[in-house]
Structure 1
Amino acid sequence: MNLMTIPPWKYHVFLSFRGEDTRKGFTDHLYAALKQKGIITFQDDKLQRGEVISHQLLQAIDESLISLVILSETYASSSWCLDELQRILESKRSLDREVIPIFYEIDPSDVCHQRGTFACAFQKHSLRFAENKEKVQRWRDALEEVSNISGYDTTDQHEAKLIEEIIAQVWAKVQPNLPYCFDDELVGIESRVKDVSALLKIGLCDVGFIGIWGMTGIGKTTLARIIYKRIFHQFDVSCFLTNVKENSKAKGLVPLQRKLLSKFKIKDMDIDDAYEGKDMIRKLLCSKKVLVVLDDVSEISQLENLSMKKAWLCLGSRVIVTTKDMHVLIGHGEFEIYKATFLNNDESLQLLCKRAFKKDEPLEGYLKLCESVIHHAQSLPLTLEVLGSYHCGRSELEWKEALEKIKRFPPSNILMRLKISYDALSDMEKKIFLDLACFFKGMNKEQVTQIFEMCGFCPVLGIRELVEKCMITEYYYDHGVCLVCIISFKKWEGLLFWRNPQRMLAKEV
C-alpha cells in the first residue's frame, strides 16, 4: 500500500454563491468544469438552510483549500451568504486558505462600499438585526475585505473563456497542495533525491543545470520525475519533456518545442520549423522562472534547439537533463553532473523481495537464491524488477531452474531495453564493446588497448566513448586499470552472437 501524508483538508474548492442569481447559469457551468477537471468541490446548496449557518457548512469551509466567492446582485441580501463569507475570510487568516472573488455582473466598488443592491440589502439587515449592529458591521467589513482581493470580473467577458481561466488558476493553486504519494516500490530513492536536490540549490538566485547520467534501467527518469513533482510548484512555468531522443527521432524537435511553449499559455502560437521554435522559446524563457526536465537527451543539438543556455534563462530557473551519454553534458559545458548509482546489496534485496514476495525480506529458504539473482542482475533496478516479478509465486526448485534459464535466455523486456543502447553505438564502438564483453572483461586497460591498436581500432577514444555512454566502466586497482562491461556478457549473449555467430564458435573453442 502506498503511503501518503493525510491532508488537512477534504475539498479542493468551496463554492459560495447566491442560488437565485447564478445556480442555473454561471455557477452550474463553473461547477461542471471543476468536476470535469477532477477538482473536488463543495456546493452549499446541498444543505438544508435555516436561520443559523450549520456546523457542517462551517467545517466544509475550513476543510477547503480554496473558496470561490461568486458575488452577484443579491448576494448581500442573504444572511446565510454573508455568514459564509465571514467564515471564509476567517479561514483565510487562520488557516492560510485561498480566496478568489468573482464579481458576477456587478461593480467591485459597489461591493466594497455597499452601493446599489448591496445598499438596499443592508438597509433591511440594519432593521432586522437592530439589536446586533456588530454582526451587520462584520458583514460590511467582510465585503470590503473580499472586494480588495484580486479576482475576476465577468463584465464584457465570454463566460466559457472566463471559466477556463478560473479553472487554470484553481488547478495551479490546488496541485502543489495535493498529497505526495510515496511509492514504496522505489527502493533507495530518498537518498538519491537528496543528493540531486543538493546540487539543484533551490532558492538561490541563479540558473542551475543538473545532468543525471547513467545506464539504461538505473532509474534516471524515475529520479527526475520525483524531484520534478516535489518542486515544480516553486516555479512560474514547469515542463517535463519525456523521451526526447525517441520523440525527436520520430517526429523532429518542433512538437517538443510546441509542448514547451504551450506551458506559457499563449493562445494561437504556431511555429513552422525548429529555428523559429528555438527563437520563440528563447524570448519567453528569459521572462519567467522555469523548471524544465528533458528526459533521455542524446545530442547537444536537442538542448540547443530547446534553448537551454544559462544566459537565456531567468534567474532562479532550473534545468534537469537525463542522459546515457556523458559527452552530451560535457559538450554543452554548463551542467553539474550527477552519476546515477546502482543499488547497494541491501537495497537490491529489498527491491527484489518486493517484486517476488510482496514484502521487504525473502521467504525462509530463499535468501541464497535471491543473492544469486542479485549477482546476475548486477543490482540494476530494471533487471531486479523484471526478474522479481518473473520469480513471483514460484517454488525453490522453480527459482533454481528459472535462474539457469535467464542466464542462457535473458527476458526479452530486459534485452530490448538494453539493446537500444547497443544499437546507438558506432560500428567501431560495437566492435570494441563486443570484444570487451566476450574476451577481455576484467583485463588490464593498457593490455587491451595494445591489442585493439594492433587490430587497427582507435581504442583510446573508443574506450572513452563507451565509458561516457555507460557501456563499460573502469576499475582502478594496485597494478593499473581494468575494464568491465556494465551490462554483463550473459545478459547480452543472445544479441551479441545473433549479430556475430563467429564469436560463439570462438567461445566454444
Structure 2
Amino acid sequence: MLTEHESQFIEKVVNTVLDRLFLLNSCVDEDLVGMRTRHQELELLLDVNSVDVRMVGIWGVGGSGKTTLATSLYMKISQHFQNHCIVENIREKTSKHGLTKLQKNMLSVLFKDEENISSVVEGKNRIKNMSSRRKVLLILDDVDKLDQLEALAGKHNWFGSGSIIIITTRDEHLLKTHKVNNVYKIKLLTHDEAVQLFKRHAHNEEEPVEDYETLSLRVISYASGLPLALKVIGSFLYDKNKNEWISALDKLKEIPDPTVMHILKLSFDGLEAYQKDLFLDIACFFRFRSSDDAMEKFEACGYHPEIGIKVLRQKSLITIVYKNEWGNVFDMHDLVEEMGHYIVRGEHPKNPRKHSRVWKDEEINAMCLGDAIMENEKTEALEYIGSHSDDPSPFYKLVSNMKKLRWIDVLIYTLFWRSGGPTFLSNELQYIKWTGYYASSFPKSFHPIKLGVLKLFDSSLIELWKGCKHLPQLKVLHLEMISLQSTPDFRGLPHLQKLTLKSCPMLEEIHPSFGSHTSLEYLNVSCCPKLRMFPTIAHMRNLKTLKLRECSLKDGEIPSGIGELSNLKELDLSANDFSLLDFSISQLTCLKVLKLSFCKNLIELPDLPSSLVILTANFCMSLKTIRNYKWVSIVSLNGTNIVNDDERLLQSMHEGKAIENCPMLLVLPGLEIPMGFTPPLLEGNRYTLRLPENWRNNFSGFLMCVVSENLLKTSVTQVSSGVSSEDDVVWVEKSLVDFVEQTSLQHEGNPLVKFTK
C-alpha cells in the first residue's frame, strides 16, 4: 500500500507528464490556420474549469472547419478528462451501421467496454450508467438528426461533473431542440487566413512563386473563406504548372469541383421536398433580392416560406441581411449558391432546356435563337427581361412549349412589337407576373386552377376573360392595364385576399359580384378617373386596408358601407373631389391611419376614432375644421388653411398623448414659432442643450419646434452617452412640433440634445 508521500510523488509525476503533453498538444493548433482565436472564443463557452456539465454546439455550413476546430480543441484539452472520445462522421455512420453500432464503439473507446448492445434503449442506459460518475470529454461530429443526440448524449445528467460534450452540426435547430448550453457559429477564414491556408496546400513553400500570385487570388476569391474549397483546390494545383493552373481555374467557372459540391450538397439532401424547391429558387433567382418581394411568390408556390426559410437559415444554407435601400435581402455563401446552380443543371450543364429553372437572359435568348418550338417538359421557373429592340415572338413560342411551368416573371418593354403573345400557358402555373402582355386575350386552353398570384402591368387586355373563370387558389390579383374596361366576375375567386386596380384609365365599373366578397383583406383602387360603378363594400368584414386614391370621387360617390368595416386599419382617400366624408368614420374602431391629402374640396373632418394614430391631410386647401384629434400621435396638415388653430391642436394632442408617454409629430404651415413655446428661442444651424444631473425628476419629455424656410432638409438629433440617432424630414416652409417622451432618453449619463437645421 502506498504511503501518503508516495501518493503525492506519483500525483506530481502524473501532473508533470500531463502538463508536458498539454504543451505538446497545444502545438497542434499552431499548424492550423486561424485556430488560436477560434479556440479562445470556444473555450469561453466551454468554461473548462466549471464543475457543471456543458454541452456546446459548433454550427456552420459544410466545409467551414467545424470538425477541425472540435478535434484540435480535443487534442488540446483531452488530458484534463478521465475519459475522452471522438465519434466521427455520425451522419454517414448512422445511415450505414445504425445507432447501436455507434453506441458500442463509443463505449469501447471511452471505457474499454466490448459488450454487445441489442437495442438503442440498452445503449442509452449503459452510456448513462458508465458516464454518470466520470468526467468525460466527448466530441459528436456531424450530427444531423435529433435521435443521434438522444442516443449518444441524451441529457446533461448522463455525465459526471465537469464533463464537456461538443457537437458539430449544420443544423442550428437541432442544437436548440437538444437544449445545449451554447451555440458557437463557426467563422469563415479572413482574407489573410485564406491566403495562408491556400499557400500551404498549393505550394511547397510558404511564399508562392511571384507569377502565381494573381492566380492564387482568383482561388481565394472563389472560395470566399471556405477552408474545404481552399484545401481541395490547393491540393489539386500542388504539382501543376502555370498553364495548368489557368486551365483548371477557367474550368471552375463552368464546372465546380465535385468534392466541394458533394460536401455542401449533404445539407441540401437532408431537406424536405418543398424546402429543396425553396432553396433552389433562392439560389437561382433571389440572392441579393428583397425577401419581402419574394415571399408572395413562395406563398403562391406552396413553399410554406415562414417555416421553410427558418429551416434554411438554421442549416446555414442562407442568411438574411439588412440593406438600407432594399430592406431585408437573401444572401448565401458563393459556393452554396454555386451548389444550387450545380443541382439545377445536373447532368446537362450546357443545355438550359433540361434545367428546372432558367434565370440567365443569355440562356433564354440562346433558347429563343434555337428551336423555340421544341416541347419543354423540364422548366418549372422562368425569369426574363426582354430588350427594347428585340422581337418578343421567339420568346412567346418558347413559353408556349413549357408544359410544366410553375411560375413566370417577365418584363417586356418594346415600342415596336405591341401585339401577340403565347399561344399556350401552362395550367401548372401558380404565379404570374408579366409586364408587357400584349396579347388580346389569354389562350383558350388556359385554366390554371393552381394559380395563386396574377400580376399584369402594361397589358393590352380589355378584359381578363369572359364569363366566370373558376380559380379557387387565387389570392392576389394586381392589374395595371391601360386598356382594361371592366373587372372579371369575382364569384370564381372565392379566396381572393388582395386586389389592386391601379392606373386603369379606361376602367368604368367593377363587377357587381365584388360586393359580396368576404375574404378580401387589401383593396387598392387608384388612378382610375373614369370609375363610377363601385359596389357596396359593407360585407367585407375582413378588409384591413382600403385605398381609393385619385379616382375623382365626388360627394355621393364614395363606396357605401365603409362605416361598417369593423376591422379596417388603413383608409386612404387622397386626391379625390368630395367635400365631406358621408359615413361615420368614428365607428371604425380599429382605424390606425387616415390619409386625405390633396382633397382640395374637403371642408371639414368629422369626429375621429380614438384608435387613430396617423392623420395626413396635406394640401387640403378648403379644410377649416378638425373636430377631434385628441388621441392622434402624428398629424400632418401642411398646405392647409388651419393656421390659427395650432395652439388648440397642440394642446389637445399633448393632453391625449403626453400622459401615455407616446411620441407626437405635428406638421403645420407657417413661418413662426407657435405660441406656448418659452425661451430660449434658438437661431442658427446648430444648438446643443446640456441637461442637469437631476433632469429625470418630474420630467415627461421635450417639446421641440423647428421652423424651416425654403430648406430641403431639417434634422433633429438626440445624442446620449455616445448613442446618436437621426431622423430626416423633408419639407418646405414647415413648422415641426415633436414631443420626445422620457423613456426614449433613459440612457446612462447626462444626455445632449442637439438641434440641427
Relative to the length of structure 2, the TM-score reads 0.43
- Aligned match for 2:244, one of 371, 391, 398: 398
Aligned partner of 1:496 in structure 2 is 344
* 2:192 paired residue number: 346
Q: How far, CA to CA, are the matches of 2:134 and 2:30 in structure 1?
A: 35
Q: Which residue in 2 is equivalent to 1:359?
A: 205
Question: Where do residues 465-504 of structure 1 align in structure 2 (5 Å cutoff)?
Answer: 465-478=311-324, 479-486=326-333, 487-498=335-346, 501-503=354-356
Note the C-alpha offset of 1:264. 5.2
Comparing 336-345 with 257-266, greater Cα deviation is found at 257-266
Please give the alpha-carbon distance, in whole angstroms, between the structure 2 residues aligned to 1:269 and 1:182: 34
Paired position in structure 2 for 1:459: 305
Task: Read off the aligned partner of 1:484 and give its amino acid letter.
Answer: D
Q: Distance in 2 between matches of 1:179 and 1:379?
A: 26
In structure 1, what is the Cα distance between the partners aligned to 2:10 and 2:130? 38
The answer to whether the aligner puts 1:208 opposite 2:54 as a matched pair is yes
Shift of 1:243: 1.0
Give the equivalent residue in structure 2 for 1:132. Answer: none
Shift of 1:219: 0.7
Task: Rate the CA distance shift 1:268–1:200 in 2: closer, same or farther, 3 A.
Answer: closer
Amino acid at match of 1:276: E
8 Å contact from structure 2 (residues 85, 110) kept in 1: no
Q: Residues 113-143 of structure 1: CA distance to partner in whole angstroms, max 9, x if unpaired? A: xxxxxxxxxxxxxxxxxxxxxxxxxxxxxxx
What's the counterpart of residue 450 of structure 1?
296
1:298 Cα deviation (Å)?
Answer: 0.8
Is the radius of gyration larger for structure 1 or structure 2?
Answer: 2
The residue that corresponds to 1:287 in the other structure is: 133
2:150 alignment counterpart:
304
Are 2:107 and 2:114, in contact at CA under 8 Å, matched by a contact in 1?
A: no
Does the CA-based 8 Å contact 2:284-2:359 persist in structure 1? no
Q: What corresponds to 1:156 in structure 2?
A: none
* CA shift in 2, pair 1:181/1:95, >3 Å: same
Which of 302, 307, 324 is matched with 2:170 structurally?
Answer: 324
- What do residues 272-306 of structure 1 show as CA deviations (whole Å, max 9, x unaligned)? 10011111211222111111110011111111112
Structure 1 residues 243 and 199: CA distance shift in structure 2, 3 A: same
What amino acid maps onto 1:221 in structure 2? T
Q: What is the rounded CA distance, in whole Å, between the counterparts of 1:333 and 1:265 in structure 2?
A: 26
3-state SS of the aligned residue for 2:143? coil
What pairs with 1:105-124 in structure 2 (closer than 5 Å)? none
Q: 1:350 to 1:174 in 2, by over 3 A?
A: closer
Letter matched to residue 449 of structure 1: M
Task: Give, in angstroms, the shift of residue 172 of structure 1.
Answer: 9.5
Tell me which stretches of 4 or more aligned residues in structure 1 moved more than 4 Å.
Answer: 92-96, 171-181
Cα deviation per residue 1:471-506 (whole Å; 9 max; x = unaligned)?
112222224211123234335533321179334655
In the aligned structure 1, how far is the partner of 2:11 from the partner of 2:125? 44
How far apart are 1:371 and its partner, in Å?
2.1
Tell me if structure 2 keeps the 8 A contact 1:442–1:483: yes
How many residues align structurally?
350
Q: What is the distance in 1 between the residues matched to 2:114 and 2:217?
A: 58
Are 1:300 and 1:332, in contact at CA under 8 Å, matched by a contact in 2? yes
- Gap regions ≥5 residues in structure 2: 349-353, 365-757
Q: Is the 8 A contact 1:212 1:321 kept in 2?
A: yes
Query: Residue 244 of structure 1 contacts residue 296 of structure 1 at CA under 8 Å; is this kept in 2?
Result: yes
3-state secondary structure, aligned to 2:343: helix
Shift of the 440–264 alpha-carbon distance from structure 1 to 2, 3 Å rule, reads closer
Tell me how far apart the structure 2 counterparts of residues 312 and 196 of structure 1 sit (CA, whole Å).
23
Match of 2:72 in 1: 226
**Alignment-derived partner of residue 275 in structure 2:** 429
Instruction: Measure how far apart 1:321 and its partner are.
Output: 0.3
SS at match of 2:328: strand
Q: Deviations over 1:346-389 (max 9, x none)?
A: 11111112222233444313333222211111110000111112
Tell me the CA shift for residue 173 of structure 1. Answer: 11
Distance verdict in 2 for CA 1:175–1:440, change over 3 Å: same
8 Å Cα contact 2:30-2:36 kept in structure 1: no
- Looking at structure 1, the residues matched to 259 and 276 of structure 2 have their Cα atoms a distance apart, in angstroms, of 21
The residue matched to 1:341 in structure 2 has which SS? coil
- CA spacing shift, 1:263–1:490, aligned 2, 3 Å: closer
> Which whole-Å CA distance do the structure 2 matches of 1:184 and 1:176 have between them?
13
2-structure distance, mates of 1:327, 1:308? 16
Residues 124-163 of structure 1 mapped to structure 2, 5 A cutoff: none
**Cα distance in 1 between the residues matched to 2:290 and 2:300:** 16
Conserved 8 A contact 1:210-1:319 = yes
Offset, 1:266: 6.0
Residue 390 to residue 265, structure 1, CA distance change in 2 (3 Å): closer
Q: 2:459 — aligned with what? A: none
Cα contact 1:407–1:491 (8 A) shared by 2? no
Mapping for residues 164-313 of structure 1, pairs under 5 Å: 181-182=27-28, 186-263=32-109, 265=111, 269-313=115-159
Once the two structures are TM-superposed, the CA of residue 94 in structure 1 deviates from its matched residue by 12
Match of 1:68 in 2: none
**Cα distance 1:466–1:267, how it changes in 2: closer, same or farther (>3 A)?**
closer
CA distance in 2, matches of 1:410, 1:177: 41
Question: How far apart, in 2, do the equivalents of 1:499 and 1:450 lie?
Answer: 31
Contact 1:216 1:417 in 2 (8 A): yes
Query: What's the secondary structure of 1:365's corresponding residue?
Result: helix
Contact 1:351 1:360 in 2 (8 A): no
Q: For CA contacts below 8 A with separation 6 or more, give which structure has more relative contact order.
A: 1
Change (3 A) 1:177 1:448: same
Q: Which runs of 5+ in 1 are unaligned?
A: 1-88, 100-170
| Whole-Å separation in 2 of the counterparts to 1:285 and 1:342 | 34
CA deviations on 1:159-191 (whole Å, 9 max, x unpaired) are xxxxxxxxxxxx999976865553665211111
Output the CA distance in 2 between the equivalents of 1:442 and 1:268: 54
Alpha-carbon spacing, 1:364–1:460, altered in 2? closer, same or farther (3 Å):
same
CA distance change for structure 1 residues 391 and 307 in 2, over 3 Å: closer, same or farther?
closer
Whole-angstrom distance in 2 between the partners of 1:434 and 1:261: 41
SS in 1 for 2:355: helix
Q: Residue type of the partner of 1:386?
A: V
**Aligned-pair CA distance for 1:313:** 2.2
Code of the aligned partner of 1:287: R
Q: What is the alpha-carbon distance in structure 1 between the residues aligned to residue 94 and residue 126 of structure 2? A: 18
In proportion to residue count, which structure has more helix?
1
Amino acid at match of 2:331: V
Residue identity matched to 2:92: E
CA gap 1:188/1:429 in 2 versus in 1, 3 angstroms: same
C-alpha displacement of 1:419: 2.2
* Cα distance change on mapping 1:361 and 1:481 into 2, 3 Å: farther
SS at match of 1:475: strand
More strand by share: 2
| Equivalent AA in structure 1 for residue 163 of structure 2 | S
Bigger mean CA deviation after superposition, 488-497 or 238-247: 488-497
- Aligned equivalents of 1:267, 1:324: Cα separation in 2: 31
| Identical pairs, percent | 34
Distance 2:40 2:319 in 1: 25
C-alpha contact (below 8 Å) 1:294/1:322 kept by paired residues? yes
Q: CA RMSD in A?
A: 2.9
CA contact (8 A) 1:407 1:490 kept: no
Structure 1 contact 212–338 (Cα < 8 Å) conserved: yes
User: Residues 349 and 361 of structure 1 are in contact (CA less than 8 Å); yes or no, is this contact kept in structure 2?
Assistant: no
State the distance in 2 between where 1:349 and 1:494 align.
Answer: 26
1:299-352 superposed Cα distances (whole Å, 9 cap, x missing partner): 111111124311332211111000011111011123300001110111111111
Instruction: Please show how residues 71-86 of structure 1 align to structure 2 within 5 Å.
Output: none
